[in-house]
Structure 1
Amino acid sequence: MALRRYEPEMHSEYQARINKVIAYIDANLSGDLSLEQLARVACFSEYHFHRLFRSLIGENLNEFIQRRRLETAARALYLNPKDKVIDVALNAGYDNPTSFFRAFRQYFGSSPSAWRKKAAKEWAESQLSRKNSLRAQNSKIGNVLDPATWQILQGTSKAQTSSGRVEIRDLPECRVVYRRYVGRYGNPAITQMWGELFDWAHANGLLMKDSSFIGILHDDPSITAPEKCRYDACLIVDQNLEPDDALTGRFRGGRYVMYDFAGTPSDVDPAWDRVYGEFVINSGCLADNRPNIELYGPNSVIDPEKMIFRSKLCVSIRDF
């Protein structure tokens, strides 16, 4: 019997289908997340799907769904203190309040009401401690990009490097080519991944002076364990683009509080704190469950040697 050799592009196809399922789960936590439905989304048989999911994600399907429901509920509880606990539970996919209270206490070690009062802060501090223990010195992206790519990204803009402007905008849905990283936010591996995406886009004629990029932070690092945080580096592309050697997906769009940031990677965490502490709470809206994003327009790179860049830090919001 002839054996088929391993094809890396086939692994990418499997990963793309599982990523599609994960996006569906995050967008439908209160909907039908049965094995049958999710296998249909992935275009896999039910028999193989849950095994493939565990192999690629490192968690079984039910564990992943339970974790995402609880993490989403925990985030809503401390960001939107006026929301009723029962409504938070329902939005996260729990029809039975008793089941929600039991699962929440088992996972976070406190009741939902205690979480709002004190435990959320304690949990966030413990997660920050874990993140800092894993922190490594930031690498320089200049070491992983060729000069031609840098020239395109840096552009010719002479705009000032100031930051601080805030606005509320509705962003459209769009198609993206992306690469995914799973692990601690702030890891130099994210910088490396961006470099790989830039070089791929340049080699395929997709990196232009007016190219725009989106960094999608799928998880809240104050709640989700550092090693399970997901980050997508995305290039916005034409709706009809179907590359054979890259993952494609859709950015859902929606309404965001957008903060103009300019600085180095070490400045990003304090900037996110300011967005929440000063602007989200004064926006007249509630924080939504859609992921936070970093929006990079043309001329985002200011100084590659000093690692100074500009972006918009965006928090998803919704009406009260």
Structure 2
Amino acid sequence: MKAAVQNYQDRMRRVLDHIDRHLDGDLDLDGLSAVAAFSKFHFHRQFSATFGLSVHRYVQLARMKRASHQLAYMDALDVTDVAMDADYDAPDAFARAFRQRFGQSPSSFRKSPDWEPWLAALGPLDNARSKLMQKTFTTDDVTIRDVQPTKVAIMEHRGDPATLPATIQRFIAWRKAAHLHPSTSPTFNVWRSERRPASPADYSVDLCVGTAQAIVANGEEIKAGEIPGGRCAVLRVVGYTDNLEPAALYLYRNWLPASGEEARDFPIYCQRLSFFPEVPEHETVADVFLPLK
């Protein structure tokens, strides 16, 4: 029975990966049911029963999520390009759908995103993915690595995690102006609080970019700092790296007590190696580092 359930989940996960990989293509029920090797006469009900929303709505939300990221973080794409990527033939049809979903026009969202309704609108998509995208880690997934110290520029986020996307947007704009591209300057997040503290005001994370050059703040509150060198337990996460809490919890709750190691006096952190929407979400990669004595 357990093997059968696992097989069923693998087939459904294959569909989600296929959708992410082919957001620009024709994602009809016949094609998606064939990917899962399910009957096309039952697949839409199986999908809804598993994920809590229809195939059509899932695809729409996935396309709208990518479109919103392109608008907020990729200035080189104009609204027409984003509309075409989202499978809309005309910008006005895309604008109506975008406003209906997020409460803002695409142009308004690009200038000043309102992230709270954005998070609420994409909640069903994130909930659907979390049902089958939970990672199962083993000790074989963890390596111990000697890490070299890295000088970083830091933009601190302090306060409600719902406002984190706005800080990320400012951080990306600043590093673009500073010519610190992710391909040449590594990206780190240093977690200084739990992901969901008792009070949202206590949420704390540092957004960091590796650089040894002099920092020009350009109006932002940017600090110079360092991610210290030393031994670290490293756990790589591939796919859907928005929420790395399960990886961090595995290191703390499962790996560390059984390893005989002790944690060093520096917060757990991650290095983001690839980014959505530059790659499909299931291909994003992040390494989670637990500093050790």
TM-score range, shorter chain: 0.5 to 0.7
Is the Cα contact below 8 Å between 1:260 and 1:311 reproduced in 2?
A: yes
Q: What is residue 311 of structure 1 aligned with on the other side?
A: 270
Q: What is residue 106 of structure 1 aligned with on the other side?
A: 100
Name which of 27, 44, 58 aligns with 2:52.
58
Deviation of 1:63 (Å): 0.8
Deviation of 1:76 (Å): 0.7
Q: What is residue 186 of structure 2 aligned with on the other side?
A: 258
Name which of 9, 14, 18 aligns with 1:15.
9
Is the Cα contact below 8 Å between 1:39 and 1:45 reproduced in 2?
A: yes
Is the Cα contact below 8 Å between 1:71 and 1:223 reproduced in 2?
A: no
In 2, the alpha carbon distance for the partners of 1:28 and 1:209 equals 33
Deviation of 1:39 (Å): 0.9
Deviation of 1:307 (Å): 9.0
TM-score (norm: length of structure 2): 0.52
* Gaps in structure 1 of 5+ consecutive residues: 1-6, 131-179, 184-189, 212-220, 225-253, 279-289
TM-score (norm: length of structure 1): 0.48
Deviation of 1:66 (Å): 0.8
In 1, the alpha carbon distance for the partners of 2:24 and 2:120 equals 32
Q: How does 1:251-290 map to 2 (within 5 A)?
A: 258-266=186-194, 270-272=205-207, 274=208
CA deviations on 1:74-130 (whole Å, 9 max, x unpaired) are 111011133110101112222333321221111111211111122x1x2x1456799
Structure 1 vs Structure 2: percent identity of aligned residues? 27
CA deviations on 1:164-216 (whole Å, 9 max, x unpaired) are xxxxxxxxxxxxxxxx7359xxxxxx9xx76xx34xx34xxx456469xxxxx
Q: How does 1:140-159 map to 2 (within 5 A)?
A: none
User: Aligned pair count?
Assistant: 194
Deviation of 1:40 (Å): 1.2
The one-letter code sitting in structure 1 at the alignment partner of 2:206 is A
Secondary structure in 1 matching 2:205: helix
Is the Cα contact below 8 Å between 2:191 and 2:267 reproduced in 1?
A: yes
Is the Cα contact below 8 Å between 1:292 and 1:314 reproduced in 2?
A: no
Is the Cα contact below 8 Å between 1:127 and 1:223 reproduced in 2?
A: no
Is the Cα contact below 8 Å between 1:77 and 1:88 reproduced in 2?
A: yes
Residues 303 and 80 of structure 1: is their aligned pair in 2 closer, same or farther, counting only changes over 3 Å? farther
Name which of 72, 81, 89 aligns with 1:95.
89
In 2, the alpha carbon distance for the partners of 1:45 and 1:257 equals 47
In 1, the alpha carbon distance for the partners of 2:270 and 2:78 equals 34
Q: What is residue 24 of structure 1 aligned with on the other side?
A: 18
In 2, the alpha carbon distance for the partners of 1:255 and 1:45 equals 43
